[in-house]
């Protein structure tokens, strides 16, 4: 809805309203009529052409144009360019002091830039116009504030009734005059006042800010529908502790949303936030209990089979004979967005739970560990289905850019769940953060590396280390890292240098020095294999291990 179509009690004063003021009775719009819907925030007498120093968006200039007389034609055009760039609401012109040759170029400039140029009567003084404009602006702001509190009172009364999401969006539709939808991006859930409007396939969001009266995050939304057509909309993120992917969608052009309507939207967003928090409180209690039970199962904290049986019964995952563990680690690529890793965790776990209702999970920092109960070794977590979920997340513009490592264990009985957890954790150690290249790894696909995981005993594992490499890592950790990086990059000095942030000559110098001092030559196939295996063994032994 265009702002000028609203009653003035529900919007800010605009230039069109200026013409109705007593002091401007009989005023005429000489140019820039297409800009009469510009918002007015204040008025002042123009005493100089240096508008860039004191001009503000929404300001009305009251002037005889006398200050422009000393300027040349090009400087006058530059003045109007500055007026348009600042967002000046309009110009109220008092005739009598301006040469005729100055007026027409000013009108042409204002018409070209859609700057309303209003001519007042010459018998009216500036003070009367200023008092009328500023007094009306103050009254408009007071009415706006009254409207805000009235809307707030109504939404709080509605909150006491514990409304459904549909009831909330329906009431907002009545106040907005357009269709409204609730959208949970993680669950791909839509609740709207119109089935067709809310049935969009995807939404691309671009955050922006209104100049004022905005407390939440607003987005220009492009909604794409199944028949490939798109519609613009306004999206507002609904604040929540865990549902960071929930939005209120107002099916209108964002530029047409008035200040009063933004206040109304903010009230309803706050109401939806309260309803989500209520649900979160219930979900959090269940989550905390389940998280602890799953963690204890994975870690083998139960001392008897009876305790394992009780935990499995409480989690309702005891219908079938076999279990599989899946571990997923996210790494956010932009350091400034690391706090958004929870968006990734929530999105993934919801989509997995929707696909596998009989799975439970444990969350820790940037990792999720899922436990699924299933019927046979051929039916566990499907690698292709997990890849589809993650590929869709990679293509979701609302989520931060990320890389991931997904690991699947073998299939075990209920009393061997800790062994399956050891498998995924060991694989996780084998592939460190620098190797997170959107990998999908199954325990059964590891081949020779299974040998190191299955040993279990760290003292036995350490016995397989090449003594030269063990000594190198203790005496020269940087040198060992250089060798390992070079081998991982197929002995490419330039690739290793890029990963280590050094010059290729530095890598070559370190490698030659290690060859001379420790007798390790990575160009020898046996030594190269020893380096690669040693790196995996050290990963399993952990950073604090010492021989």
297-323 pLDDT tens trace: 999 999 899 999 999 998 888 888 899
Residue 422 has pLDDT above 60, yes or no: yes
- Local confidence band at 181 (pLDDT 50, 70, 90 cut-offs): very high
| Among 381, 372, 433, 375, residue whose Cα is nearest residue 407 | 381
The separation between CA 374 and the C-alpha centre of its own chain, rounded to angstroms, equals: 35
Residue 166 has pLDDT above 80, yes or no: yes
**Residues 121, 26 contacting (CB under 8 angstroms):** yes
Burial class of residue 376 (count of CB atoms within 10 Å of its CB; 0-12, 13-18, 19+)? exposed
| Among 120, 123, 144, residue whose Cα is nearest residue 133 | 120
Report the pLDDT value the prediction gives residue 6, as an integer from 0 to 100.
47
Residue 327 has pLDDT above 70, yes or no: yes
Place of tokens 């204890």: 296
Average pLDDT over residues 378-389: 85
**Residues 207, 238 contacting (CB under 8 angstroms):** no
Mean pLDDT of the chain: 84
Torsion angle of alpha carbons 353, 357, 361, 367, nearest 10°?
A: -20
C-alpha distances (whole Å) from 423 to each of 4, 385, 410, 454 are 65, 21, 8, 8
User: Would the CA dihedral through 15, 19, 20, 24 be positive or negative?
Assistant: positive
The separation between CA 168 and the C-alpha centre of its own chain, rounded to angstroms, equals: 24
Average pLDDT over residues 16-26: 89
- Local confidence band at 4 (pLDDT 50, 70, 90 cut-offs): very low
| Among 45, 2, 455, residue whose Cα is nearest residue 257 | 2
Percent of the chain with pLDDT over 90: 33
Calpha distance 84→4 (Å, rounded): 20
Report the pLDDT value the prediction gives residue 2, as an integer from 0 to 100.
45
| Among 225, 209, 200, residue whose Cα is nearest residue 257 | 209
**Residues 19, 90 contacting (CB under 8 angstroms):** no
Burial class of residue 265 (count of CB atoms within 10 Å of its CB; 0-12, 13-18, 19+)? buried
98 versus 48: which is more confidently predicted? Answer: 48
- Local confidence band at 427 (pLDDT 50, 70, 90 cut-offs): confident
Average pLDDT over residues 24-28: 91
Report the pLDDT value the prediction gives residue 7, as an integer from 0 to 100.
47
| Among 478, 495, 474, residue whose Cα is nearest residue 486 | 495
Residue 340 has pLDDT above 90, yes or no: no
Of 17-31, 163-177, 343-357, 442-456, the one with minimum mean pLDDT is 442-456
| Among 193, 197, 245, residue whose Cα is nearest residue 219 | 245
C-alpha distances (whole Å) from 106 to each of 43, 46, 53, 103, 509 are 19, 15, 21, 5, 73
Average pLDDT over residues 33-58: 90
Report the pLDDT value the prediction gives residue 9, as an integer from 0 to 100.
46
Three-class SS of 89-124: CEEEECCCCCCHHHHHHHHHHHHHHCCCEEECCCCC
Residue 257 has pLDDT above 90, yes or no: no
Place of tokens 């299974």: 450
Residue 217 has pLDDT above 50, yes or no: yes
Calpha distance 326→328 (Å, rounded): 7
Average pLDDT over residues 134-158: 72
Determine which helix (DSSP H) or strand (DSSP E) holds 318, and give its type and residue range: none
Report the pLDDT value the prediction gives residue 97, as an integer from 0 to 100.
78
- Local confidence band at 370 (pLDDT 50, 70, 90 cut-offs): very high
Q: What is the pLDDT of residues 70-103, one digit of tens each?
A: 999 999 999 999 999 999 999 999 998 777 778 9
| Among 32, 17, 18, 25, residue whose Cα is nearest residue 106 | 32
Percent of the chain with pLDDT over 70: 87
Average pLDDT over residues 1-19: 63
Rg (CA), the chain: 34
Reading the block at residue 461, the tokens are 């594992």
Q: At what angle do helices 493-500 and 504-518 cross, to 10 degrees?
A: 100
Q: How many other CB atoms are found less than 10 A from the CB of residue 524?
A: 12
Torsion angle of alpha carbons 469, 473, 479, 484, nearest 10°?
A: 60
Residue 449 has pLDDT above 70, yes or no: no
Calpha distance 103→358 (Å, rounded): 78
Q: What is the pLDDT of residues 461-475, one digit of tens each?
A: 677 788 898 889 889
Please tell me the chain's helix, strand, coil percentages from 3-state DSSP, rounded to the nearest 5: 50, 15, 30
b vs e for 160-194, b when ≥16 Cβ sit within 10 Å of the residue's Cβ? eeebebeebbebbbebbebbbbbbbbbbeeebbbe
61 versus 158: which is more confidently predicted? Answer: 61
């Amino acid at each position: 809805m265009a702002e000028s179509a609203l009653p003035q009690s529900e919007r800010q004063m605009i230039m069109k309203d200026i013409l109705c003021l007593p002091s401007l009775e009989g005023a005429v719009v000489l140019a820039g009529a297409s800009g009469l819907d510009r918002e007015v925030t204040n008025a002042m007498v123009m005493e100089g052409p240096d508008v860039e120093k004191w001009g503000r968006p929404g300001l009305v200039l009251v002037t005889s144009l006398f200050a422009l007389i000393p300027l040349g034609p090009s400087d006058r055009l530059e003045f109007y360019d500055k007026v348009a760039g600042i967002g000046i609401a309009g110009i109220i012109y008092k005739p009598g002091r301006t040469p005729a040759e100055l007026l027409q170029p000013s009108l042409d400039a204002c018409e070209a830039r859609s700057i309303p140029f209003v001519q007042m009567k010459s018998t009216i003084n500036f003070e009367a116009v200023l008092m009328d404009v500023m007094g009306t602006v103050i009254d408009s702001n007071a009415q706006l504030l009254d409207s805000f509190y009235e809307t707030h009172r109504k939404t709080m009364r509605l909150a006491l009734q514990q409304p459904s999401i549909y009831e909330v969006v329906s009431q907002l539709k009545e106040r907005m005059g357009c269709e409204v939808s609730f959208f949970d991006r993680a669950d791909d859930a839509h609740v709207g006042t119109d089935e067709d409007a809310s049935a969009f396939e995807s939404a691309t969001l671009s955050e922006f800010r209104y100049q004022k009266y905005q407390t939440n995050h607003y987005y220009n939304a492009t909604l794409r529908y199944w028949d490939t057509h798109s519609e613009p909309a306004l999206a507002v993120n609904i604040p929540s502790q865990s549902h960071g992917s929930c939005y209120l969608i107002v099916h209108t052009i964002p530029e047409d949303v008035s200040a009063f309507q933004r206040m109304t939207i903010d009230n309803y967003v706050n109401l939806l936030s309260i309803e989500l928090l209520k649900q979160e409180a219930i979900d959090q209690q269940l989550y905390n209990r389940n998280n602890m039970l799953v963690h204890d199962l994975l870690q083998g904290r139960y001392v008897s089979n009876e305790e394992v049986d009780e935990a499995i019964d409480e989690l309702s995952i005891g219908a079938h004979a076999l279990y599989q563990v899946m571990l997923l680690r996210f790494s956010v690529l932009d350091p400034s967005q690391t706090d958004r890793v929870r968006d990734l965790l929530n999105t993934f776990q919801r989509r997995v739970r929707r696909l596998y209702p009989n799975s439970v999970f444990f969350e820790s920092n940037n990792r999720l560990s899922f436990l699924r109960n299933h019927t046979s070794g051929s039916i566990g977590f499907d690698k292709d289905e997990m890849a589809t979920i993650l590929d869709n997340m990679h293509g979701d513009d609302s989520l931060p850019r990320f890389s991931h490592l997904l690991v699947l264990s073998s299939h075990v009985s209920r009393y061997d769940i800790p062994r399956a957890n050891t498998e995924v954790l060991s694989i996780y150690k084998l592939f460190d953060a620098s190797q997170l290249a959107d990998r999908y790894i199954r325990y059964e696909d590891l081949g020779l590396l299974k040998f190191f995981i299955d040993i279990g005993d760290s003292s036995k594992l350490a016995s397989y280390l090449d003594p030269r490499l063990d000594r190198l890592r203790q005496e020269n950790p940087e040198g060992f890292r250089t060798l390992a990086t070079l081998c991982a990059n197929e002995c490419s000095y330039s690739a290793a240098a890029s990963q280590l942030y050094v010059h290729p000559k530095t890598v070559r110098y370190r490698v030659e020095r290690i060859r001379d001092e420790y007798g390790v030559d990575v160009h020898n196939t046996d030594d190269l294999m020893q380096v690669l295996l040693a790196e995996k063994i050290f990963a399993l032994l952990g950073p604090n291990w010492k021989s």
